[in-house]
Amino acid sequence: MSASNLGAPAPAVHLPHNVELPILFYQGQPVITFAMMDKAHRRPEGTAYRNFNTHQSKLVEKEDYFRVCANEIRSHKIMPLSDKAHGTVILLTQTGYLMLVKSFTDDLAWQVQRELVKNYFRGKQETPSNRTTSEQYRELAWFVNKWSLYFAFEANARHAAWKLARSICGTRATEMPADKFPDVLAAFKAIDKRASEFIPLRKDFEMWAIQWVFGENAEILPEPIFPELKDTYVGRATA
């Protein structure tokens, strides 16, 4: 979530030749795009991207750069992005930037690099006290990601979970008031208990499905935890 998403002007860094770069944040740290790097160093469009492709094997994902899907960038308002944009965007951290900028050896490059290290990558993201922190949001996202693995319709599970959060806090989870976080967390913990009870239920359901499909060729399995499912499932399957 960028500073502009928090109701305050996004902090920016002023570079030589009247270049201004708004500071982007991802997971609480400043990041920069290829296009911003080209603009800062007055290089032809695509220069930083080509350097990245050339040296990608030397870079470590989630340390030197992040791959962020377009939907996450829009939902967290990391930076302006067209509704037509899809796929992923590469966001470079300070270490990733420093590794790619090594090939820029002109005088301007040294000057820009100094400014970015001193001012851009030392920028701090301000979070108002009346909003949930990124750590709190990640705690909720951990539950959502966990539940999505339980269901074949992963997207539906995610949507239902965030819709529940929105119904409690009255806004998107990324903009949740701090005083609503305990209520949403309590609801998620209650859902988590219910979701954990679904696992043996799903296992039994699949056990009977295998036996019905393969008949005698199916391995003899122990009695299900929910024997009442047998008649229900077999009845539907033979209808």
Tens-place pLDDT, residues 111-156: 999 999 999 998 776 655 577 787 888 889 888 888 877 776 778 8
Q: What is the mean pLDDT of the chain?
A: 81
d(CA 30, CA 120): 7
Q: Quick one: 140 exposed, middle or buried, by C-beta within 10 A (0-12, 13-18, 19+)?
A: buried
Under the banding of pLDDT at 50, 70 and 90, the label for residue 236 is: very low
Whether pLDDT at 216 is above 80: no
Please tell me the distance from the alpha carbon of residue 132 to that of residue 46, in angstroms, as a whole number. 37
CATH of domain 3-120: 3.10.260
In this prediction, residue 222 carries a pLDDT of 53
pLDDT level of residue 170 (50, 70, 90 thresholds): confident
The reported pTM is: 0.52
Query: Residue 117 in contact with residue 92, Cβ under 8 Å?
Result: no
- Check residue 205 and give its pLDDT: 75
* Number of Cβ within a 10 Å radius of residue 145: 14
Neighbours of 85 (CB within 10 A): 13
Give start and end residues of each alpha helix (H) in 56-180.
70-76, 94-100, 107-115, 134-148, 154-169
pLDDT of residue 129: 59
Q: How many residues does the chain have?
A: 239
What pLDDT was estimated at residue 201? 75
For residues 82 and 176, give the distance between their C-alpha atoms in angstroms, rounded to a whole number. Answer: 24
pLDDT per residue as tens digits for the range 101-113: 998 989 999 999 9
Q: What is the pLDDT of residues 42-98, one digit of tens each?
A: 999 999 999 999 999 999 999 999 999 988 888 878 888 887 888 899 999 999 999
Q: Which helix (H) or strand (E) holds 53?
A: helix 47-55
Q: How far does CA 149 lie from the centroid of its chain?
A: 16
pLDDT of residue 149: 77
Q: Of 139, 127, 133, 138, which Cα lies nearest the Cα of 186?
A: 139
Domain regions of the chain by residue span: 3-120, 134-238
The single-letter DSSP state of residue 194 is: H
What is the torsional sign of CA 154, 65, 60, 132? negative
CA distance 127 to 3: 8
pLDDT in tens, 4-31: 443 344 578 888 888 999 999 998 899 9
Burial class of 225 by CB neighbour count within 10 A (0 to 12, 13 to 18, 19+): exposed
